[in-house]
């Protein structure tokens, strides 16, 4: 039976070996992300970095939550309806 210090040293050594062998969870996560990297020229949009990343291009909730925009839309709609 080993003492606590030896168990800690052994665990640290095992973690270092896992990192060097590429089997540590951080290595696995990094390799997964590297595989999703967008190759230059794959898309005309240069901001895309990784396949599978998502973005909100347009949010109706945010758009209509702004009072100024909502009032502007109401005004334009009423003007269009009145002129028709």
DSSP codes joined into one string, the chain: ---HHHHHHHHHHHHHHHHHHT-SHHHHHHHHHHHTBPPTTSSS-TT--BTT----S--HHHHHH-HHHHHHHHHHHHHHHHH-
Percent of the chain with pLDDT over 90: 31
Give the residue with greater pLDDT, 5 vs 43: 5
Instruction: Quickly state the pLDDT bin for 56 (edges 50, 70, 90).
Output: low
Instruction: Quickly state the pLDDT bin for 18 (edges 50, 70, 90).
Output: very high
Q: What pTM value is reported for the model?
A: 0.45
């Amino acid at each position: 039976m080993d003492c606590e210090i030896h168990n800690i040293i052994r665990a640290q050594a095992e973690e270092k070996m896992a990192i060097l062998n590429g089997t540590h969870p951080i290595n696995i996560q990094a390799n997964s992300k590297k595989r999703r990297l967008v190759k230059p020229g794959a898309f005309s949009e240069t901001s895309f970095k990784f396949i599978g990343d998502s973005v909100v291009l347009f949010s109706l909730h945010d758009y209509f939550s702004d009072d100024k925009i909502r009032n502007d839309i109401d005004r334009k709609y009423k003007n269009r309806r009145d002129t028709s």
